[in-house]
Amino acid sequence: MNHFNAEQIARDAAAKASTPPELKRPLRRETPPPEPYPMDALLGLRPAVEAIQRRTQAPGALCAASVLAAAGFAAAIHHDVEIPVIGTRPLLTAFMTVGQSGERKSTVDLLASLPITRAEAALAAQFEVDQDKFGRDKEAFDAARIEARKAAKDGRAAAERALADVGSEPKAPAPPILTAQEGTIEGLINLLTLRPYASIFSAEGGQFLGGHAMSEDAALRTMTTLNALWDGAPIKRLRAGKATFAPGRRASLSLFVQRSVAALLLGNASARDNGLLARMLISEPESTIGSRMWREREPDFDEFLDEYNDRLGYMLAKQPRRLEGSDGLDPEPLPFNVEAERRLIAYYNDVERDLADGRRYASLRGFGSKMTEHASRLAGILAAYAGRDMIDAETFEAGATLATWYAGEQLRLGETVAPDPELDAAAELLAWWQAQPDPRLYLTALYKSGPNRLRKADDAKRAVAILEDHGWIERLPAGTVLDGSPRREAWGLIQ
């Protein structure tokens, strides 16, 4: 009998030791898979998205975000959307796609932004010419000002007439930059004061959101500035000795970030309270890494993007309408036709009902309150790309389908990407515990010698309870001797 018990104990111990780590519960909440991306809702942009997806084998939602962002950037230069009752809004978008390194976001952006890259090349060629002319004009202006000041000896009125005859100081040409991959919010504003439209498209969004832009000193300024740009508000800045007022500016955003960077926003109370998250189209597509088998390049691949490249190229080359007396943009509004307005009203009412307590969007009221606007902006991009001067019912329904999908993504990600301080503390404790020479620990030793954030008994107990619940540690019998004394509460790592 004793022999049987010994054998049984040995078998149980071996089975326990062989339990694969993946069967233990992870120390973060599991994210349910996303709903399939509504490709049909992309209308005329669908062929470009599917061509880029076929070429890169990147997630479809990632390809769609890049194409919509590029098309939206080109469209916003020339068009706003005139939403019934709500008012005129810019066709600006702010995409944030969450994923892991290696999802081929850089290649996707390269293909989706090719018309923008070509437009920048044309601007660069012209920039050298404009820079030479500016140098000559500035030299002539400075010389004329010196001569005009000499008129001061004939009295103030004569000097003022002479200076008025000189005219305004020449303005330096804008640098040939339409998109940037990283930078500060101040850099973006400086660029917009020189050229009224620009964008940040980055496969390394952490350089923007995870760097100085979201530091403790700059985060609020970054978020409120992004909000104002999305709203189409004029740039207003006061600096020592200088005031800037720049209306008619347009700036789009498309960032690819890892979960840790996304958590900076999704777990940031300020980002939610001040409305930045409500203005962003956030998604985390299912990764395609591991399924992207080798494909030969399609010889006619470029033809799949000809219409897309030509259409965006035309919009980027076309001279935009300007505000009177300003270099700011004055985009043409795209109105709704009668049937599209009916669809908009029905969509608005459906969303509003779902914002009530206990309903689908109750936890997403910031984004939910802007869903009709998101739908209208996306519909406006699709209409502008198609060359239409009005939004019809089909186009609005497509925009509404896309906005609803992104709402579902915010619901899906809000509770899983946002950081949980207690889970984070438990994960830190586990890493520290696994580095100790003895896998057994008692509570007092843990909160006296463990991670700094667990130096209080209550905090340590919560972290231990999480590890025990997740199957990483097991409670030892009361009275287990550790450090020469019997311990009432002690645990051992499950190896």
Interatomic CA distance for residues 206 and 210, integer angstroms: 4
* Residue 405 sits in the same domain as residue 427: no
Interatomic CA distance for residues 249 and 327, integer angstroms: 9
Would the pLDDT of 1 be above 90?
no
State the average pLDDT over residues 290-314: 90
Structure-token pair, residue 188: 């973006």
- Other C-beta atoms lying within 10 Å of the C-beta of residue 189: 19
Categorize the per-residue pLDDT at 380 as very low, low, confident or very high, splitting at 50, 70 and 90.
Answer: very high
What is the domain count for the chain? 2
This model's pTM is above 0.85: no
Which of 419, 438, 460 lies at the terminal end of a domain, its last residue?
A: 419
Task: Write the secondary structure of 394-427 as one string of H (helix), E (strand) and C (coil).
Answer: HHHHHHHHHHHHHHHHHHHHHCCCCCCHHHHHHH
* Residue 387 sits in the same domain as residue 425: no
Instruction: Name the more confident of 115 and 417.
Output: 115
Averaged confidence pLDDT in the chain? 86
Q: Give Dmax (Cα) for the chain.
A: 123
Q: Is residue 399 part of a domain?
A: yes
Categorize the per-residue pLDDT at 210 as very low, low, confident or very high, splitting at 50, 70 and 90.
Answer: low
Q: Is residue 129 part of a domain?
A: yes
The dihedral region occupied by 344, where left means phi > 0, alpha psi between -120 and 50, and beta the remainder, is alpha
Predicted local confidence at residue 56, as pLDDT: 95
Q: Any idea which of 196-205, 221-230, 240-249 has the lowest mean pLDDT?
A: 240-249
Burial of 462 (0-12, 13-18, 19+ CB in 10 A): middle
Predicted local confidence at residue 13, as pLDDT: 46
- One-letter amino acid at 405 equals W
Which of 419, 453, 474 lies at the terminal end of a domain, its last residue?
A: 419
* Residue 462 sits in the same domain as residue 427: yes
Tell me which residue range forms the domain holding 425.
Answer: 420-493
* Residue 338 sits in the same domain as residue 479: no
Helix (H) or strand (E) holding 23: none
* Residue 88 sits in the same domain as residue 179: yes
CATH code of the domain in which 441 resides: 1.10.10.10
* Residue 332 sits in the same domain as residue 469: no
Q: Is residue 17 part of a domain?
A: no
Predicted local confidence at residue 17, as pLDDT: 42
Q: 3-state DSSP call for residue 176?
A: coil
**Strand locations in 123-247, DSSP E?**
179-180, 197-202, 235-239, 242-246
State the average pLDDT over residues 320-331: 93
* Residue 238 sits in the same domain as residue 189: yes
Q: Is residue 23 part of a domain?
A: no
Q: 3-state DSSP call for residue 111?
A: helix
Instruction: Name the more confident of 318 and 200.
Output: 318
* Residue 464 sits in the same domain as residue 335: no
* Residue 398 sits in the same domain as residue 479: no
Would the pLDDT of 100 be above 70?
yes
* Residue 117 sits in the same domain as residue 58: yes
Q: Any idea which of 4-8, 33-37, 69-73, 80-84 has the lowest mean pLDDT?
A: 4-8
Q: Is residue 69 part of a domain?
A: yes
Half-sphere exposure of 426 (CA within 13 A, CB side): 23
Q: Which residues, 6+ apart, have CB-to-CB distance to 363 below 8 Å? A: 411, 414
Instruction: Name the more confident of 84 and 164.
Output: 84
* Residue 122 sits in the same domain as residue 228: yes
Q: Is residue 127 part of a domain?
A: yes
Which of 401, 419, 437 lies at the terminal end of a domain, its last residue?
A: 419
* % of the chain exceeding 70 in pLDDT: 88
* % of the chain exceeding 90 in pLDDT: 47
- Other C-beta atoms lying within 10 Å of the C-beta of residue 272: 19
Q: Is residue 383 part of a domain?
A: yes
Q: Is residue 92 part of a domain?
A: yes
Tens-place pLDDT, residues 437-476: 889 999 888 888 888 888 888 888 888 988 888 888 999 9
State the average pLDDT over residues 358-383: 95
* Residue 237 sits in the same domain as residue 360: yes
Residue 412 in contact with residue 73, Cβ under 8 Å? no
Predicted local confidence at residue 223, as pLDDT: 85
Going from the C-alpha of 375 to that of each of 41, 92, 393, the distances in angstroms are 11, 12, 12
